[in-house]
Amino acid sequence: MLRQHVKILAQHTEIKSFLPLMSTLTPHTLCPCGSPLHFKQCCELIITGDKTAPTAEALMRARYSAHACGAVDYLMDSWWPEERANINRPEVEQWVKSSEWLKLSILDTESGQADDNEGWVSFIAHYKHDGRLQQHGEHSYFQKLDGLWYFVSGENLPEAPKKIGRNDPCPCGSGKKFKRCCKTVA
C-alpha cells in the first residue's frame, strides 16, 4: 500500500506518521468528520501534519477522520505522550480497520479553544462492526503540549437505548430510510 510520510514533532521528539492513500477518499469526498469541506481541505491537512489542530474539537474531528481512513499512526501520535505506552496498538488497529465509520456527531465542547490549554469534547461516533450498526459515545479530555493538542483520555457516555424504526432516517447519515439502508445489512 502506498503511504505518505509525515513528520510530527511532539515533546521535542520526531514522530513519523503515515496516512494511507484511500481509494474511497477522492479529492471531492466530503470530510468524514461531518464538515462541509472536502477531506483534502479539512482533516487530511491535520492528519498529514500540514496544519496543526487549532482546537480540541478540530483534533477530535481529525482523530475520527483518521479512524475512517485507517491512519492508525496518526491516532497513536495524537495520543498524550505519557498515555501512548498504555495503548494496545494492535487492538486500536484491529478496531479501526474492521469497522466502517459512518458519521460523527459532536454533542458538546467545553473550553479547548486556540487560547486554552485543555478542553473536553463529547461526541458519538456511528459505525458498523461485523455488519451491525454501533455507536461509541465519549466525553474526551484534551490537553495542549508545546502548542499542540493531544487526546488524553475519555469516559464512555451512558447509552441511551433507542429503537430505530424502519421508517426513521438511517443513523449512518445516508439520507435514506433505515429500512432501505442499513437494516438490509443488519
Summarize pLDDT for 114-163 with one digit per residue, the tens.
Answer: 999 999 999 999 999 888 888 999 999 999 999 999 999 999 998 755 66
Q: Does the pTM exceed 0.85? A: no
Look at residue 15 and tell me whether its pLDDT is greater than 60: no
71: three-class secondary structure by DSSP: coil
Query: Taking a C-beta distance cutoff of 8 angstroms, is the pair 124, 157 a contact?
Result: yes
Question: What span, in angstroms and rounded, lies between the C-alpha atoms of 86 and 89?
Answer: 9
Q: What is the pLDDT of residue 168?
A: 78
Residue 127, Cβ density class (10 Å: 0-12 exposed, 13-18 middle, ≥19 buried): buried
**Angle, CA of 119, 35 and 120, to the nearest 5°:** 10
Q: Which residues pair with 154 in a beta bridge?
A: 140
Least confident among 29-38, 55-64, 153-162:
153-162
